[in-house]
Structures are given as structure tokens and as C-alpha cells.
Amino acid sequence: MEDVSPAVLAANLAFYTALSLADFKLMERVWLASPDAICIHPGWPELHGWQAIGESWREIFRNQGPLRVWPSQVDLRLYGQTAEVNCLENIDMNQVRRAGILQTRATNVFRRVANAWKMLEHHATSVPGGQPRPLEPFSTN
């Protein structure tokens, strides 16, 4: 049986690369362009369908620009042609004049389509406390 874990983790990392670089074209390639897609940004209402989700990323990138974001405490579960990645999102707030790292908890769901893993759902929520913590050495785990 094929181990698809590296491909799913690469798709998850591509999402955080697009987010960090404020790269809409890459974000568009990461997502499944489907009316079934769902996105919940922290503090936002639930968005349905790639059209609404894509517009939200355009707005976020326009207002925020590049912002270093990376996943840690990554946990992957595979369910056939669907994969679920749970992780902490680490947001370097030093770039927006606030010291430290802000963390959110995320669940990213991917669906395998034509041998590519595409994001179907992204749910992010603030971690209790919600205050940036001091910057620690970079780690992916």
C-alpha cells in the first residue's frame, strides 16, 4: 500500500507557504475549487465554496501582506482519499509590531483528486489566552 503521508504533509506545508508569502496563486493551487470547500478563519463566519474562500484570502493578503506562519504539533490521519491534519499555527507577530508568536489551532482536511491532495476544509480558532508568547527557536514539531 502506498504511503501518502509525505504528499499530504507537503500539501499542508504548501498551504502555510502560501499564507506566509501572501501568495494568492499558490493558495489557489492548494485549494480544491469546489462548492463543498469550507473555511473558518479565526473570528470570521463560516465560508462555503472556493469563490467565497478565495475572496477571503485576497482580502487577508491585501490587508496583511506576507506574515511568517508555520505549523507545529502536526498530527495526520488518513481516511482513504481524505486526510485530516491537526496542528498549531505559529504566527510571527514581530512583523506586525507585536512581540512574540501567536498560536491558533487548525484542522485542515484534504481530498485526493487526480493524484494531488487538495485542501477541502480549513478551520482555525484562537488558542485560549490568545496572547503572543516569546519567540522561541524555529521548530516544525
d(CA 141, CA 88): 10
Given this model, what pLDDT does residue 2 score?
A: 72
CA dihedral 21, 62, 45, 8 (to 10 degrees): -20
The identity of residue 62, as a single letter, is R
pLDDT the model gives residue 112: 97
DSSP calls for 42-55: TTSPPEESHHHHHH
Residue with cell 499564507: 19
CA separation for the pair 39, 116 (Å, rounded)? 20
Q: From its phi and psi, is residue 87 left (phi > 0), alpha (psi between -120 and 50) or beta? A: beta
Q: What residues are paired with 83 via a beta bridge?
A: 78, 110
Q: Which of 31, 41, 40, 18 is nearest to 119 (CA)?
A: 31
What are residue 90's DSSP bridge partners? 70, 103
pLDDT on residue 141: 42
User: The whole model's pTM is what?
Assistant: 0.88
Does the domain made of 5-126 have the CATH classification 3.10.450.50? yes
Mark the ranges of the chain whose per-residue pLDDT is less than 70: 1, 96-98, 129-141
